A and B are shown apart, each in its own frame.
Chain A
Amino acid sequence: MKKFLSLLLALAMILSLAACGSSGSETPAAGEQPAEATAAPAASGVEEGLLRAAALYDIKTMDVAQTTDDYMVPMNIFDRLFEVEVQADGTSQIVPSLVEDYSVSDGGLTYSFTLREGVVFSNGSALTASDVQYTFERLLTAGGVNDDIPLEVLGAEALKAGETDTLEGFTVTDDYNFSITLANANAGFIAELTGPAMSIVDAETMAEVSDFGMSCEDTIGSGPYKVTEWVKNDHFTLEYNELYWGEEPSVKKAVVYIIPDASTQNLMFQNGELDIIDLDYLDSSIVESTYKTTYAQQMVSCPRVGLTYMALNANNQYLSDVNVRKAVQMAIDVDTIIASIFAGDAIKENGIIPQGVWGFNEALERPAFDPAAAKQLLLDSGYAEGEVSFELAMDTSASSNLQLVYQMVQQYLKEAGMTVEIKSYDESSWLALRQSGEMDSFLATWTMDYNDPANIMYTFFGSPEKTLIRSLNYADTAVMERVAAASGITDDAERMAEYQALEEKIVVEDAAWVPLYANTHLFAVSDRVESFVPYWAGYSNFYAADVTLK
């Protein structure tokens, strides 16, 4: 009996060791064919042409109809009609991609396009005008979240409502020619087509597959890569698409590991386990002490075309008073935030339209930082010290840097005589509260989807509904009507002047927007990387084809 017991013990131990050994090596494969080693230890050599990157969160889908932020896979496996190309001097420019030629007529209402010939999807199906038509119609009818842009096409509302089966404003002439007629003229239309949301999908493939966006085999695009593996919560793999029409990229394969923690990513990079790291989520002191010293030659910086702002809800008892909002604007010391939290790697923003966006107003001035004046203004407006109180809602999934800015803002407002309580919400509760229009105030960062002021102006101040779901509750309907109408002005200079006038009215006169800063987006690359050009707007997502390996 006793012998039996000790045998059993020994057996259990051996079994447990064996189990670890075997399933340890099987784990990354997770049911698919054996995958290449994930997160190879530093010592072993790295496969040629392989780029190893990390993301903090797994993507939810690869279908742009279902997401407004999981763009990493769509950017790389699909093409757009136009792309934004970053020039050597850092400026960006819209260039045709799938489109070979286009013309505008009819007072800016009708666009005629000619597609590049010979483009095929990664399964061999040809990319034709009907695929573009299908892409537009699908965004409207699939019940997705990215229908802002196709909604501008004539007849889009009717299609979306199910009144018709076809998109009236979209005419296919032949396989390579089509035209789009807009409901209202919009000078920013071409810029809008560069956004990842406008990735072109294949109508024929879509008719056959059942799990587009979720299954790798079903998610077929025409871009330089195809997605070959997606192990949820672990990693996804992009591999070069042999049928790609453009130049063959230097990166043949990119693996993006899901590492939900910035400090682990930091260690992995330093341990040689990553080729590219997004430094946005690391504290600037680590960037200063480690990256700007040891990896000084391997840093890549990119201006963020967008800005971090503070939103004030005009429905709040105190924030409805323009003087309180002005006091908030004056109370926050943006320069110190930039100098301390970002170690200088940020620029101060004064308006709604950020630097680097077409129509940016350099002359716009914000009220200077002046806590004493802010305090006085509150007293003059009849508020006792500490009487003005509201909640500052924080999304706990925000970067640690933004969480620090929250605490600094709270401190500044306290010094100006306001009582502000920071309340933490998890991401979905935070979004739900904001969408209800009842969030008192919050900080957030907006990064441009396409380079046109319409993008940010319309999103925040385009209609009572738009301002409600951002919890701004801006009250001036006349201004909102002008914002909505501005995109129809065909003369560029006139259109930009209108946006700037509106911006000044909202920020300076109404103090309905507290601009803060745009922090430079810093990356570091390993010594295997020759060069890296981040996405023009400073996304964390990037084109793997824009990385050149040594």
Chain B
Amino acid sequence: MRDEQEEILTMQMDSPEDVLGEADTLKDQLKRMARQNKLAVISAVVILLFVLGAIFAPVLTPYEFDQQDVINRLAPPSAEHLLGTDELGRDVLTRLLYGSRISLLVGVVPTVISMLAGAVLGICAGYIGGKTDVIIMRLADIMLAFPSMLLAMVIMYTLGDGLINIFLALALVSWASVARIVRAETLKLKESVFVEAAKSLGVSRLKIMCRHIFPNCLPSMIVLFTLNIPSAILSESSLSFLGIGIKYPQASWGLMVNLGRQFLYTKPWLSLAPSIAIMLVVLAFNFLGDGLRDVLDPHLKDQ
């Protein structure tokens, strides 16, 4: 997924003259999006609901997330258990709520890491140029050559299972595309009038990169951020589905689908509930990202 987004984004960033000098502030742009794009607003609300669910999971459910009731195992949805119980009699809704903590974290944390790393490397590559550029970009080429799932699998193999390692693996997988996009932006900004002006005033390189280039990369980074979160969530769920990554006793949605899969035809709620949860969150982030792109992306704004 990361590659398509990159493709779309780079294609849409062909017009350097629009990047700067926008009178709109970020706030105005968001306000406009809220007015124009109802879907994006609904998506934001859905995401907010999931976040609240994850935070207040202990309050929202009377059950512990690993509370077993084996006699009552694999019970169908009922008033006590809205989504039924799993193979050890644990409440599925409870596990879904607690699982959203992991899935949301897995969406956000690696994306933040990869955005930061990608931005720093991309700005350095673009602004400093020369050998730095070559080294960073070849490294990015190498990372981008891997099919992301397989790369994540190798990294998980090397690091071992566990949440922190998933964070690292997904961050390592996605920094390169961020770096490429940020580099492209930087190259355009480098030629701009105000950077030239700053240069002639003797402002230091570091200052130019931090003060002038980075802030101007932000709009596309925000779009990229919202679009990279769902792909991280999907990657984690795929890894967990294969049994690589999150291990007992933690429960992520992908792992729940994996465990519930053998019951798909007899107790479908076990695998469908987490599948639908994944889809909803990913969809919400995609719609939101789409909406943000419409208002934040200079190229589309022209039309």
Contacts and interface: CB of A to CB of B under 8 A. Distances in A.
A480 to B, nearest CB: 35
Contacts of B264: 263
A266 B87 contact: no
Given A285-B73, A424-B248, A262 B68 contact: no
Q: Size band of the A side of the interface?
A: 20 to 34
Interface in A253-288: 262-263, 266-267, 282-283, 285-286
B133 interface: no
A50 B148 CA distance: 42
Interface in B64-100: 66, 68, 70-71, 73-74, 87-89
A398 to B, nearest CB: 12
B263 interface: yes
Given A282-B262, A285-B73, A422-B249, A407 B88 contact: yes
B71 A408 contact: no
B248 A285 contact: no
B250 to A, nearest CB: 10
Contact of B267 (A285, A340, A404, A424): A285
A351 to B, nearest CB: 25
B221 to A, nearest CB: 35
A394 B249 CA distance: 12
A290 B161 CA distance: 35
A411 interface: yes
A141 interface: no
B262 A340 contact: no
A396 B263 contact: no
A411 B70 CA distance: 11
Identify whether the interface residues of B are mostly helix, strand, loop, or mixed.
loop
B73 A424 contact: no
A212 B113 CA distance: 52
B71 A336 contact: yes
Contacts of B71: 336, 339-340
B74 A285 contact: yes
B65 to A, nearest CB: 13
A33 interface: no
A286 B68 contact: no
A39 interface: no
Contacts of B247: 396, 424
Contacts of B88: 404, 407-408
A408 B266 contact: no
Contacts of A93: none
Nearest to B90: A407
B129 interface: no
Contacts of A340: 70-71, 73, 89
Given A408-B68, A408-B70, A408-B88, A286 B262 contact: yes
A341 interface: yes
A262 B248 contact: no
B261 interface: yes
A267 B262 CA distance: 9
A289 interface: yes
A277 B162 CA distance: 34
Nearest to B259: A400
B262 A283 contact: yes
A407 B263 contact: no
B243 interface: yes
Given A266-B262, A290-B266, A396-B243, A407 B248 contact: yes
Interface in B24-54: none
Contacts of B249: 407, 422
Contacts, number: 54
A288 B74 CA distance: 12
A394 B87 CA distance: 18
Interface string A403-428: 11001100100000000001010000
A400 B262 CA distance: 10
B248 A422 contact: yes
Contact of B68 (A285, A400, A407): A407
B70 A289 contact: no
A341 B89 CA distance: 11
Given A396-B243, A404-B88, A424-B161, A283 B263 contact: yes
Given A422-B248, A424-B161, A263 B262 contact: yes
Contacts of A286: 262-263, 266
B73, B261, B267 interface centre (most CB from chain A within 10 Å):
B73
A241 to B, nearest CB: 37
A403 B248 CA distance: 10
B266 to A, nearest CB: 5
A341 B70 contact: yes
Contacts of B89: 340
A283 B263 CA distance: 8
A283 B73 CA distance: 11
Contacts of A408: 68, 70, 88
Contacts of B248: 394, 403, 407, 422, 424
Nearest to B264: A263
A350 to B, nearest CB: 22
A411 B68 contact: yes
Nearest to A401: B87
Contacts of A400: 87, 259, 262
Contacts of B262: 262-263, 266, 282-283, 286, 400
Nearest to B74: A285
Given A262-B262, A263-B264, A285-B74, A404 B87 contact: yes
Contacts of A290: 266
Nearest to A289: B266
A284 to B, nearest CB: 9
Contacts of A336: 70-71
Nearest to B271: A263
B92 to A, nearest CB: 15
A285 B263 contact: yes
B281 to A, nearest CB: 25
Highest count of chain A CB atoms <10 Å: which of B66, B261, B266: B266
- 10 A-B pairs with least C-beta separation: A263-B262, A340-B70, A424-B247, A285-B74, A411-B68, A289-B266, A263-B261, A407-B88, A422-B248, A286-B266
22 contacts: A263-B264, A282-B262, A283-B262, A285-B74, A285-B87, A285-B263, A285-B266, A285-B267, A286-B263, A286-B266, A289-B266, A336-B70, A337-B70, A340-B73, A341-B70, A396-B243, A400-B87, A400-B259, A403-B248, A404-B87, A422-B249, A424-B247
Interface of A: 262-263, 266-267, 282-283, 285-286, 289-290, 336-337, 339-341, 394, 396, 400, 403-404, 407-408, 411, 422, 424
Given A285-B73, A400-B262, 15 more contacts: A282-B262, A283-B87, A283-B263, A285-B74, A285-B267, A286-B263, A336-B71, A337-B70, A339-B71, A341-B70, A396-B243, A404-B87, A407-B248, A422-B248, A424-B248
